[in-house]
Structure 1
């Protein structure tokens, strides 16, 4: 009888321990992250007259309607939506980008929000993503999502992109990976992504440094962290900034004229990015114009119109002698974003060149 009682007591103790272990795990499994969606418009919020036409109007659908189209996202996280703007991304502006940065700083300052999702058009998404990567100090996930087909299209890609984007923003393992873009099951870093097709669903690639990871119906797998500086390690600050300095991009081509470079200087550009041929090259007339601009205090950055590769300093152009900056692995549009932010503070050319190596 005594042995039987001891056995019962042992079973009772083990059962109690099992309950104590299981209950916290159950509670943790049931706890959902808090994710805020900041909507800016774009194709993901677009609408067309039929489900099979190529023409559509961006920014027609509100964030509430997009979330309601994917009710399963409520199983991933507690969702709150805010409409920051409702424009096609061809009309994205520094004003809206600064507004986004300010709102992200406010939302991520405390413990109430675990991640941010931004719905955005694809045309200029890489520029907004890179800008936010430079200026947002949080290590919480900030994820941009978009689509190549409007919400009314047959086989619209927006709903699943939104679902996967929320899954990444709600994922603790996404913390500390900088600003990301989630589309078509791929997770890109803001530092490396670029748009490579005008219409294809798989429009974004990270051709030089590869993906951050992948996501499939909300199941995420991560490969790496970004290589360059971002987030809390970034030296850039846009608190109180309402306007960024003018920086122009001039496209390089055969027998290019120097007139556009001179015009940028005359119109008040503080910086010029050359989308050069090959390794950031240009003809003598353009190079002479860039040298004149540099002597006037205009910062000139040599980037490349080529899709991949690194623009090296002092390779085919004597940057030291002419007073120019090499863009390293940043394409022209991202080179412009970095230079616009860098020029908020007085810097010499050596310091600006350092930024292109570090960011």
Structure 2
């Protein structure tokens, strides 16, 4: 009887071990790439939610602070940068893009999460959306409050980002941004508010949401991205300089001429309304275009600004480009990538309509 019991117990233990091994193999493998930002920030006291130092907490401590992610996926972290995102450069974008692309090629990586400061998060997400040729989930996440603050949002945002990156339903939707329980397209989303947790908005709406570690989807992107993109990080060594100049009442051509003189190969005009250009500025932009500088009309209007070609200005006549629905900062990203492939304004315009 004792031998039978011992044998049965041994079989049970072996079965449990096998089940655990199978379960471990079926769990998604997610890599968290940390770059700094508020999500890695710390304030002087719990009452400091808007006054703090960004980029202080390393990735291992971020992961250790959310043990629940272990139920979603097998997670490991890498510290790529430790900076506030307003200090991101084009070189930073390229280095991050190469690391994301390299990880995406690995069989033991099912999804990638990038922790990022919110100030330029939308630009990084859009850049990766254009240059990383993978259908694996790539999720960019940040927070509006440091982890030391009352009602800090970073831990739940990171948990939701891992949930999204580990979900096969997230595949093929391009680079995603997860904030405040919502899943956004990296192409569309922008920081619309600077001190509240619902800071990120998409003019055409979120793609879905995350509730208690489960994703719920309502729409999918239609613009070209990732595996369908003509841009590939492996072919990009550097990005040409692209400047942004802001339109306003009493505008002059000083900023445009200064940016071109400093080496800008394209200028994003963050115009009023429908990308309008004041009469005082038009001659300078025409002159700069004749010198080979690309002129791209965007709009300073947030939350759904949309620039129509040949409205307000005769773009065909002037050989100018319109940014379609991309805001100035995202237009800068696409313009820089476009100029790695062409100097033909008609081809640049095609990129803006398709991406």
| TM-score in same-fold range (> 0.5) | yes
Aligned partner of 1:271 among 243, 266, 271: 266
Deviations for 1:283-306, whole angstroms, at most 9, x for unmatched residues? Answer: 112111111111111001000000
Q: CA deviation at 1:30?
A: 7.5
Which stretch shifts more, 255-264 or 272-281?
255-264
In structure 2, the gaps of 5 or more residues are: 1-17
Deviation at 1:161, TM superposition (A): 0.3
Structure 1 residue 237, shift from structure 2 partner: 2.2
1:348 aligns with 2:329: no
Give aligned pairs, total.
335
Name which of 250, 256, 260 aligns with 2:251.
Answer: 256
Partner Cα separation in structure 1 for residue 167 and residue 213 of structure 2: 9
Q: Is the 8 A contact 1:36 1:81 kept in 2?
A: yes
Mapped pair 1:104 → 2:100: yes
Instruction: Note if contact 1:95-1:242 (Cα within 8 Å) is conserved in structure 2.
Output: no
Q: CA deviation at 1:100?
A: 1.2
Deviation at residue 310 of structure 1 after TM alignment: 1.3
Q: Output the CA distance in 1 between the equivalents of 2:202 and 2:250.
A: 31
Alignment RMSD, CA only? 1.5
The answer as to whether partners of 1:32 and 1:78 remain within 8 angstroms in 2 is yes
Give deviations 1:87-128, integer Å, cap 9, x for gaps: 011111111211111111111113210000000000000000
Query: Would you say the 8 A contact 2:40–2:55 is kept in 1?
Result: yes
Matching residue of 1:114: 110
The alpha-carbon deviation at position 240 of structure 1 amounts to 5.1
Distance across 1 between alignment mates of 2:120 and 2:82? 14
CA contact (8 A) 1:326 1:353 kept: yes
Q: Aligned match of 2:162 in 155, 163, 166?
A: 166
Listed as ranges, the matches of 1:135-146 within 5 Å are 135-146=131-142
SS of residue in 2 equivalent to 1:121: coil
Deviations 1:50-84 (A, max 9, x none): 01023111000001101111100011100110000
CA distance in 2, matches of 1:126, 1:346: 24
TM-score, L = length of structure 2: 0.92
The 3-state SS of whatever aligns with 1:285 is coil
Q: Tell me how far apart the structure 1 counterparts of residues 294 and 343 of structure 2 sit (CA, whole Å).
A: 10
> TM-score by structure 1 length?
0.91
Q: Distance in 2 between matches of 1:136 and 1:240?
A: 11
Q: Which residue of the other structure, out of 29, 52, 56, is the alignment partner of 1:34? A: 29
State yes or no: 1:225 paired with 2:220.
yes
Equivalent in 67, 73, 77 of residue 73 of structure 2: 77
In the other structure, the counterpart of 1:45 is: 40
Equivalent pair of 2:84/2:117 in contact (CA under 8 Å): yes
Matching residue of 1:294: 289
Q: Which structure has the greater CA radius of gyration?
A: 1
Q: Please give the alpha-carbon distance, in whole angstroms, between the structure 2 residues aligned to 1:345 and 1:276.
A: 26
